[in-house]
Amino acid sequence: MEYYNYLKSLHLIFVITWFAGLFYIVRLFVYQIEADQKPSPEKEILQKQYKIMTYRLWYIITWPSAVLASIFAFWMLIFTDLGQAWLKMPWMHVKLCFVFLLYLYHWKCHLIFKDLQNNKVKYSNTFMRLWNEGATIILFAVVFLVVLKNAVNWIYGVIGIFAFSVLIMLGFKFYKKIRERNQS
């Protein structure tokens, strides 16, 4: 059991750093997109700095954290008795679906990262601000599933996540109005 606790601790550490990287990278995407609308030479100076920052964050923190979190998770699930028992539980199946969504979210962030590194701006800063909430929603879902270990009430959880998402969007619209009012 102590062996399992070491794996679990390492898994949690890398999940935390993975999410930190995902939260921050999208914020940097927002700044890169906003920098693209600045006049020269400010535009070029900011873009160069943001490219360096995103590159380091993505390849030194976020990707390694994702890989290590996954390695320790698979190790726990496959090579420990407790992990194998959890694989038979419905809440774990739901959690793994959310983890799959997290991998998809991470991959889409990677594609956005590559585009921005090549000066291709395909999304607005508003889209990126909303996109940033995707990781938050997944985090809430996974934490509640792991702590409560109840997949039967996942419908209530989904309704709660949806309500939380609506609150985030309303908060975003309110914040946007305040920003626009302050810029006027």
In contact, 133 and 19? CB cutoff 8 Å: no
Continuous segment of H or E residues that includes residue 67 = helix 63-79
Is 93 assigned to a binding site? Answer: no
- What per-residue confidence (pLDDT) applies to 34? 95
User: What are the boundaries of each domain within the chain?
Assistant: 2-183
Is 95 assigned to a binding site? Answer: yes
Whole-number Å distance between alpha carbons of 49 and 45: 6
Contacts of 29 (CB under 8 A, 6+ apart): 54, 109, 112, 113, 116, 123, 128, 131
Whole-number Å distance between alpha carbons of 146 and 92: 8
Whole-number Å distance between alpha carbons of 121 and 117: 9
Whole-number Å distance between alpha carbons of 39 and 45: 10
Query: Per-residue confidence of the chain (184 residues) as pLDDT tens digits?
Result: 678 899 999 999 999 999 999 999 999 999 999 999 999 999 999 999 999 999 999 999 999 999 999 999 999 998 888 888 888 988 888 899 999 999 999 999 999 999 999 999 999 988 998 899 889 889 988 888 888 887 656 667 667 777 887 888 788 788 888 888 888 7
